[in-house]
Amino acid sequence: MRNIKGLVAWVTGGGSGIGRATAIELANAGATVIVSGRRQEPLVQTVALINTAAGSADFELMDLAEKQQCYRAAERIMERHGQVDILVNNAATNLPTRHWHSMQDGDFEHVINTNINGIYHCTQAVLPTMRKNSDGLVINIASWAAVHNTYLSGAAYSTSKAALRTLTDTLNMEEGHHGIRATAISPAEVATPFAKQRVGGAAAEGALDIALQPEDVGETIAFVAQLPVRACINDLVISPSNNRWYTLARSVGN
Q: Is residue 157 annotated as a catalytic residue, yes or no?
A: yes
List Cα–Cα distances, 215 to 32, 212, 222, in angstroms: 19, 8, 10
Integer Cα distance of 215 and 198 in angstroms: 20
List Cα–Cα distances, 149 to 101, 108, 154, 188, 245, in angstroms: 17, 17, 9, 12, 10
Q: Which is catalytic among the residues 71, 120, 151, 157?
A: 157
Q: What is the DSSP letter of 24?
A: H
Integer Cα distance of 110 and 149 in angstroms: 20
Strand partners, 190: 212
The CA radius of gyration of the chain, in Å to the nearest whole number, is 18
Burial class for 182, CB neighbours closer than 10 Å (0-12, 13-18, 19+): buried
The residues annotated with a catalytic role in the active site are 157
